[in-house]
Chains A and B, each alone.
Chain A
Amino acid sequence: MSRNTDNHFDVIIIGAGVVGCSIARELSRFKVRVAVLEKESDVGWGSSCRNSGVIHAGFNNQPGTLMAKYCVEGNQSFHSLVEELDVPFQKTGKLVVAKNNREIAGLKKLKKQGECNGVKNLDIIDEQEIKKLEPNIKGVAALLSPETGITSPYLYTIALAENALKNGVQFYLDTEVENIEKKSSGDFVLKTQNKQFIADYLINSAGVYCDEIAKMADIDHYRIYPCRGEYYVLDKNASSLISHLIYPVPNIEEGGLGIHLTPTVDGNVLIGPSNEYLNKKNDYAVTTEIVQKLFQEAQEYLPGISSKYFIRNYAGIRAKQTPPLQGGYRDYVIEKSEKVPNMINLIGIESPGLTAAYPIAKQVVTMIDKKEKLSPNPDFNPSRKSILRFEEQDEKTKRKLVEQDSDYGEVICRCEQVTKKEILQAIDNPLGARSLISIKYRSRAMMGRCQGGYCQTRIMELLKEKYNYRWNDFLLRGSESYMLTGNRSNGEPAL
């Protein structure tokens, strides 16, 4: 497979979430011309950056499902994957905590299900053992899963995308597919606002919008029901409260894993997510009722949590295939369309999608390879480096870093101790995403307890310095999200 024209690709992937970026990277192992089209101004801005960041072990899913299969595979291969991609991963382990004796049956069921799926080292522990592992947690028994871990979902997605980019995949951000036409030649013609694309293969990894993309290609039997989950982010001071992921025994009817407590790789703690079906796919608002509910439910396990730890809320949207009245889960659909040849649809990739993304991507590549007999890309380089975090280094290394580059000596974000060097690297990211949120995800600046109160204006100065930004170039989250409304009194900005 090879093409020469500018807008004609062997494979076009719609959607640069963790699944789309995983597929892009897996395809870049071969000599294939690949493009990823993303409607947002950066990768991973849908569900991929709005979840708990958990690498699940695979005991929550029914045996025999793709969810179970890919989750277990994803968990077991994650360690070597993140070594290549230089992404944080901590096997913190997880406790599913029974609040009363009635819930213990649920733990046993989960353990059995997990073992059937191939999950290793599951164990049911009693109240005393819970106290030993988690002195602050209340519960009568728990399922301990040492294989469960945490990652940074956005850094992981960014790493996949950057590595794919380096290996030849082209990324088109701010590029929303508006129309898909299947020509008699077999080519797909994709219309976006500014550009037309042609593809031999089309991969639909559009997350909550996957049904709409399928429909553009005249496949109209998929249906996604957006289901929102809201979260609280707690201050790093709360990190000493728990060391494992703390989950309730799941309520199968609800179709979520219940409101849980998750440590993050950066040392925060998340409370969430809630479970609420919506009519809109882009309503990421948080609500008073749920915010209060999250707090109350978290307190049932962890009485030590108080509002003084709150630093931020966010919400994500699950791509559920089950309608609100039915609830629960329906298994992932990963299929080549019979009706539209060479189109592969990935439908309903909700939790554990972050864990499953890599095996899903391998599966998609296998599906293409079977037909096309792809030849390997001899230049493929699986390795990629993240921005080095000054704060995480020991003193000797810090000293050396400042000596080598004085930009390490300027701490711009005080809460997270992010230096000018790291922020400049974040600004200069290979994907060219320069919204403040893009810089935040890459550098951690503005993510701490003051939420950018100190560093936001300094980051804006750096953007001005480096790219000669005018007032209307400063965006929070992509096009039209203007930070500013003008210069003051027609004066010249003094940045």
Chain B
Amino acid sequence: MNNKDVVIIGGGAAGLAAAVACRERGIEDILIIERESALGGILKQCIHDGFGLIKFQHSYTGPEYAQKYIDQVEERNIEYLLDSMVIDITSQKVLTVVNKSGLKKYKAKSIILAMGCRERTRGAIGIPGTRPAGIYTAGVAQNLINIHNYMIGKEVVILGSGDIGLIMARRLMLEGATVKMVLELLPYGSGLPRNFNQCLSDYDIPLHLNHTVVDIKGNKRVEAITMAKVDPHGKVTLSTCQEVPCDTLLLSVGLIPENELSKMAGIQMDPLTGGALVDEYGQTTVKGIFACGNVLQVHDIVDNVSLEAEHIVNGVERYFSSLVIPENNIKIEPGEGLRYVLPQHIQYLDDTVFSFRVKKPGNKKQIIFRNDHRIIKKKSFIRVNPAEMIRIKLTSSELSDISDSKLLKVELNE
């Protein structure tokens, strides 16, 4: 058994930032465990720019952004394992890791979960039709094109307007493929507004809102898809079915936090985020295990992942200190109009950033933090969009106003 102060699972954006922050706080004995053969996570294949605007006030590509953190990990001699998979983790914080050199056990004082997320697949949303070659999730297509230098199709239809799908629409156009259209089930786009402009409008790729794929044709390779309109209740209008010849269907239909290991450790999950239930420092229901990045909540931009990872290290530091942790147990609940709120509970009453997403886009809205009938904080927005994660800070003094009911509701109001 090897002992470690902090074991970080995942060497992507969250894991790297957490590792650097841990070392900054004087934690020496850190180990990053990465399953791939290089650090950087999904950023490695995101060769477009737009990363780092918040953190560095500069637009970097994904690999450049990752490299800034990889350099810091290297400079600080933070230990990491590559090509290593954590296959088991217990609530006692014992990790089983397998790699070419063997099967090893680590006993960690603290664990930081930074495993990221995976893409929702065709099977998960049950798209009817045949199952030929030529159906890819956007991320797999991105990997094949950007990392492996292959082309995955010539005539492409994209289902779902998530950011990776939009980025890939542009990428495929630049590589000589034709992106015929992007179909989106919802009455509004799922990606960031800037990506609709830079990736669709600039390339004359049509976006069809309220549309979905109701059939896939072809036995060997995709030959066509059938698109159809959906009514406001999400029901397909069969009279609107239209066949679109294509050889590729790309899916960008959502991301799911990758929490199989968290569940093994007995951590309680939040069905709303698909991630762990945490306090304001990312501590899960298993003391000493923390979560950050896309494994906790699917982020909109990587800068927020780094910020979140750096923030939760405060929690790790406190966990190591002999300070008595206050147990205020204030529960946070998303009210009307919000998909979720993080953290789900708070203990310390320090200045705390709450992050959440709205369910629908809207103009002139207010976010209200309410304790019983009292309004703790109110913030107005000209426009809200589910694609963008909203972050609002409540100060320590605002939080100390919370009364005995210990329930803080976050609502979206007109």
| Residue from B121, B149, B221 within 8 A of A311 (CB atoms) | B121
- Say yes or no: is A493 at the interface (Cβ < 8 Å to chain B): yes
- Say yes or no: is A105 at the interface (Cβ < 8 Å to chain B): no
Known: A410-B99, A411-B98, A482-B221. A284 touches B121 (CB 8 A): no
| Residue from B103, B121, B134 within 8 A of A399 (CB atoms) | B103
Question: Contacts of A64 on B, CB cut-off 8 Å?
Answer: none
Contact: B154 with A453, CB < 8 Å?
A: no
Question: Contacts of B85 on A, CB cut-off 8 Å?
Answer: 411, 414, 417
Contact: A312 with B220, CB < 8 Å?
A: no
Contact: B220 with A477, CB < 8 Å?
A: yes
Chain B 304-337 interface mask (CB, 8 Å, partner A; 1/0): 0000000000000000000000000000000000
Known: A406-B100, A460-B148, A485-B153. A417 touches B121 (CB 8 A): no
Contact: B220 with A480, CB < 8 Å?
A: yes
- Say yes or no: is B392 at the interface (Cβ < 8 Å to chain A): no
Known: A409-B99, A453-B140, A489-B176. A233 touches B148 (CB 8 A): no
Contact: B131 with A484, CB < 8 Å?
A: no
Contact: A288 with B123, CB < 8 Å?
A: no
Complex Cα distance A282/B218, Å?
Answer: 11
Contact: A494 with B144, CB < 8 Å?
A: no
Contact: A480 with B221, CB < 8 Å?
A: yes
Contact: B220 with A481, CB < 8 Å?
A: yes
- Say yes or no: is B129 at the interface (Cβ < 8 Å to chain A): yes
Chain B 193-207 interface mask (CB, 8 Å, partner A; 1/0): 000000000000000
Contact: A453 with B121, CB < 8 Å?
A: yes
How big is chain B's contact interface, by range?
35 or more
Question: Contacts of A367 on B, CB cut-off 8 Å?
Answer: none
| Residue from B132, B137, B247 within 8 A of A453 (CB atoms) | B137
Most buried by A among B121, B133, B149, B215: B133
Question: Contacts of B216 on A, CB cut-off 8 Å?
Answer: 285
CB nearest neighbor in B for A237 = B263
| Residue from B124, B147, B176 within 8 A of A457 (CB atoms) | B147
Complex Cα distance A461/B153, Å?
Answer: 19
The B-contacting residues of A in range 477-495, CB under 8 angstroms, are 477-489, 491-495
**Nearest CB of A to B381, in Å:** 31
Contact: B215 with A457, CB < 8 Å?
A: no
- Say yes or no: is B363 at the interface (Cβ < 8 Å to chain A): no
**Nearest CB of B to A82, in Å:** 28
- Say yes or no: is A83 at the interface (Cβ < 8 Å to chain B): no
Contact: B122 with A471, CB < 8 Å?
A: no
Complex Cα distance A484/B221, Å?
Answer: 10
- Say yes or no: is B35 at the interface (Cβ < 8 Å to chain A): yes
- Say yes or no: is B30 at the interface (Cβ < 8 Å to chain A): no
Known: A488-B175, A494-B148. A286 touches B128 (CB 8 A): yes
- Say yes or no: is B38 at the interface (Cβ < 8 Å to chain A): no
Chain A 465-481 interface mask (CB, 8 Å, partner B; 1/0): 00000010001111111
- Say yes or no: is A69 at the interface (Cβ < 8 Å to chain B): no
Residues of B within 8 A of A (CB): 35, 83, 85, 87, 96, 98-103, 118-119, 121-126, 128-134, 137, 139-140, 143-145, 147-154, 175-176, 214-217, 219-221, 236, 247-248, 260
Given contacts A451-B122, A476-B133, 15 further A-B contacts (CB under 8 A): A285-B216, A291-B126, A310-B125, A398-B103, A399-B102, A402-B98, A402-B101, A451-B121, A452-B140, A456-B140, A483-B134, A484-B144, A487-B151, A488-B151, A489-B175
Can you list 10 contacts pairing A with B, beta carbon distance less than 8 Å?
A: A282-B219, A311-B123, A312-B121, A402-B100, A453-B121, A453-B139, A471-B150, A471-B151, A485-B247, A487-B150
